[in-house]
Amino acid sequence: MATNSIGGSTALDRLRRRYETTEKKCPACGYVDDGANWTSRTDGRQVVYRHVCPSCGAGREHTFRLG
């Protein structure tokens, strides 16, 4: 049986957590968001991860097509 040393319930959860820990600095204004809460949504064909800077309101997205 394989084990997962990274943690998280799914690969998509782990990817969101990666964004939350590595992409904290806003490219638009330079603000470092230590909370860096990324949201995710899916329509079954793609997954979109999104973050909005609490300082300037700039949005960032990463989109992955499934299947």
Task: Give the residue-averaged pLDDT of 11-19.
Answer: 88
Do the domain assignments include residue 4? no
Do the domain assignments include residue 1? no
Q: What was the pLDDT predicted at 27?
A: 95
Tokens of 44: 């079954």
Tokens 């079954």 sit on residue: 44
Task: Give the residue-averaged pLDDT of 10-17.
Answer: 87
CA distance 3 to 28: 39
Do the domain assignments include residue 2? no
CB 63 within 8 A of CB 48: yes
Do the domain assignments include residue 55? yes
Do the domain assignments include residue 3? no
| Strand-pair partners of 52 | 59
CA distance 40 to 61: 9
Do the domain assignments include residue 22? yes
Q: Is the pLDDT of residue 29 over 80?
A: yes
To the nearest whole number, what is the mean pLDDT of the chain? 87
Q: Give the range of the structural domain holding residue 51, as residue numbers without chain letter.
A: 11-65
